[in-house]
Structure 1
Amino acid sequence: MLYPELFKQLEAVRWNMERDIPWDRFDPAQLSDEQAQTIKMNAITEWAALPATEMFLRDNRDDSDFSAFMSVWFFEEQKHSLVLMEYLRRFRPDLVPTEQELHEVRFEFDPAPALETLMLHFCGEIRLNHWYRRAAEWHTEPVIKAIYETLARDEARHGGAYLRYMKQAMSRFGDEARAAFAKVGVLMASARRTAQALHPTNLHVNAKLFPRDTIQSRLPDPAWLEAWLDKQIQFDAVWENKVVERILHNMSLLMERSFASVQELNRFRKEMMAKVGTPPLAPA
């Protein structure tokens, strides 16, 4: 089991909301209305760990080890939402999300293959780590800069934990796991060729609710994410390349095979698909 060891590792570096956030450094002159609005949207987006956890527990019913780890992941992700709301409560109480705004992003996700979902969220943690690092650079107010830096480190650790479960899955399922991870890896490393940000909160997950079946579509401002990325934190090609490089680097370590480009990873995906007899992947 991985859960006991991961619990100890994450417990050892867990931050305290009262002691480790520099609340006394708040500078009101450095917080604009525009910046405060983005904090609200991120607080609601982080609340979506709730339906994601419900999905993980449902689709991993036969894996008690991973399901137990969800207790740690869920706690830390909900804490992200909480610390952002605490920031607003202290400094912009008019923007604290309402309970209804939070509940709006809790809806059922359609069942999906557990291995593909695991890889999807691994890539999502990598992407969110980079988004939050860039947000910390964009913000000018010292306390929220520190908060985003703290959240970014958490997301990196979560990615590392998911990677451990991916290694475990490969020892159990072999080429089936390799095929699933390569398939999703190609998709998640191909964001430059898509019209939308490739993150779990921005993907369609419930056919019956389409088109309001993404987390972002259920925010008070559904267009917020794209504006945040493109116009505010300016997550440009340089930063996107950092995400792609991290995905390829980790896939290289995981598969013990070098992938210098998405094209090389895609060739590996085709090899694995041929081995397990899975239909070819549609173009990204």
Structure 2
Amino acid sequence: MLYPELFASLEKARWSMKDDIPWDAFEPARLTDEQAQTIRLNAITEWSALPATEMFLRDNRDDSDFSAFMSVWFYEEQKHSLVLMEYLRRFRPALLPTEAELHAVRFEFDPAPPLETLMLHFCGELRLTQWYRQASDWHSEPVIKHIYKTISQDEARHGGAYLKYMKRAIERLGDEARYAFAKIGVLMAASGKSGKPMHPTNLHVNQSLYPLDTIQSRLPDPDWLAHWLDEQIHFDKACEARVIGGILRNLASLFDRTFDTPSQLNLYRKELQRRIAATTHVADGLAAA
């Protein structure tokens, strides 16, 4: 089981909202109303760990190890929402999210293949790591700079934990897992071409609720994310390249390959697809005989 090891390592790195956030260092003149609004929307977005956890537990009922890990992931992700709300409570109380605004992002996700979902959220953690680092650099108020740096480090650790479960899946399922991870990896590494920030919170997850079936669509300002990335924290091509590079490097390590571009990963995906099809064809022939 991976859960005991991951629990111990994440417990060792855990920070205290009371003791490790320098609340007394707050500098009012360094926080604008515009910046405070983005903190509010990030706090609501982080609350969506609740429906994501419900999805993970439902779709991984046969995997108690991973489900147990969700107890740690869920706790730490909800703390991200809480620390951002605590910041607003102290310094911009009028912008504190309402319970109704938080509850609006809790809705049921359609069932999805667990391997693809695992890879999607691994990529999401890599992306959040970089988004929050950039947010920390954009802000000048020292307390929120510290908070964003702190939760960015959490997201990086979460990505490492997901990677361990991905490695385990390959050991157990071989090409089935490799193909699922490569397929989602190609999608997520191509986000720069799509012009859309690819992250679990802005992907459609419930067909019956479309188009109000993304986390971002249920926020008080559904269009804020692209504006935050492009016009505020300036998440540019160089930043995006770090996300894509992280996806390619980690998959290269998992697959024992080298991927310098998303196109090379896509070629490997096609190779896996052919290999799986050939294996299935042989198995069908043996069954017919």
TM-score normalised by the chain length of structure 1: 0.97
How far does the alpha carbon of each residue in 1:79-136 deviate from its partner, in whole angstroms, 9 at most, with x for none? Answer: 0000000000000000000000000000000000000000000000000000000000
* Alignment match, 1:148: 148
How far does the alpha carbon of each residue in 1:149-174 deviate from its partner, in whole angstroms, 9 at most, with x for none? Answer: 00000000000000000000001110
Q: Map residues 80-99 of structure 1 onto 2, 5 A cutoff.
A: 80-99=80-99
RMSD over aligned Cα, in angstroms?
0.8
How far does the alpha carbon of each residue in 1:49-75 deviate from its partner, in whole angstroms, 9 at most, with x for none? Answer: 000000000000000000000000000
* Alignment match, 1:281: none
Distance (Å, rounded) in 2 between the aligned partners of 1:58 and 1:120: 17
Distance (Å, rounded) in 1 between the aligned partners of 2:194 and 2:234: 17
* 2:242 is equivalent to residue 242 of structure 1: yes
* Alignment match, 1:213: 213
Distance (Å, rounded) in 2 between the aligned partners of 1:277 and 1:131: 38
* Alignment match, 2:287: none
* Alignment match, 2:108: 108
How far does the alpha carbon of each residue in 1:222-262 deviate from its partner, in whole angstroms, 9 at most, with x for none? Answer: 00001000100010001000100111010111111111110
Distance (Å, rounded) in 1 between the aligned partners of 2:194 and 2:48: 23
* Alignment match, 2:168: 168
- Give unmatched runs, 5+ long, in structure 1: 279-284
* Alignment match, 2:79: 79
* 2:201 is equivalent to residue 201 of structure 1: yes
The Cα of 1:43 is off from its aligned counterpart by: 0.1
Any idea what SS the aligned residue of 2:271 has?
Answer: helix
Counterpart residue type for residue 199 of structure 2: H
* Alignment match, 1:2: 2
* Alignment match, 1:230: 230
Distance (Å, rounded) in 2 between the aligned partners of 1:122 and 1:277: 26
The Cα of 1:196 is off from its aligned counterpart by: 1.7
* 2:189 is equivalent to residue 189 of structure 1: yes
Any idea what SS the aligned residue of 2:82 has?
Answer: helix
* 2:126 is equivalent to residue 137 of structure 1: no
Distance (Å, rounded) in 2 between the aligned partners of 1:205 and 1:132: 24
* Alignment match, 1:41: 41
Counterpart residue type for residue 219 of structure 1: L
The Cα of 1:192 is off from its aligned counterpart by: 1.1
The Cα of 1:38 is off from its aligned counterpart by: 0.1
Distance (Å, rounded) in 1 between the aligned partners of 2:276 and 2:213: 31
Counterpart residue type for residue 8 of structure 2: K
* Alignment match, 1:11: 11
Any idea what SS the aligned residue of 2:248 has?
Answer: helix
Distance (Å, rounded) in 2 between the aligned partners of 1:277 and 1:66: 29
The Cα of 1:195 is off from its aligned counterpart by: 3.2
The Cα of 1:44 is off from its aligned counterpart by: 0.3
Any idea what SS the aligned residue of 1:277 has?
Answer: helix
- Give unmatched runs, 5+ long, in structure 2: 279-289
How far does the alpha carbon of each residue in 1:180-213 deviate from its partner, in whole angstroms, 9 at most, with x for none? Answer: 0000000000111113210000100000000000
The Cα of 1:275 is off from its aligned counterpart by: 1.9
* 2:257 is equivalent to residue 257 of structure 1: yes
Counterpart residue type for residue 7 of structure 2: F
Distance (Å, rounded) in 2 between the aligned partners of 1:275 and 1:73: 35
The Cα of 1:277 is off from its aligned counterpart by: 2.9
Counterpart residue type for residue 187 of structure 1: L
State the number of aligned residues.
278
Counterpart residue type for residue 220 of structure 2: P
Distance (Å, rounded) in 2 between the aligned partners of 1:19 and 1:152: 18
Distance (Å, rounded) in 2 between the aligned partners of 1:49 and 1:202: 13
Distance (Å, rounded) in 2 between the aligned partners of 1:132 and 1:233: 9
Counterpart residue type for residue 193 of structure 2: R
Distance (Å, rounded) in 1 between the aligned partners of 2:192 and 2:127: 13
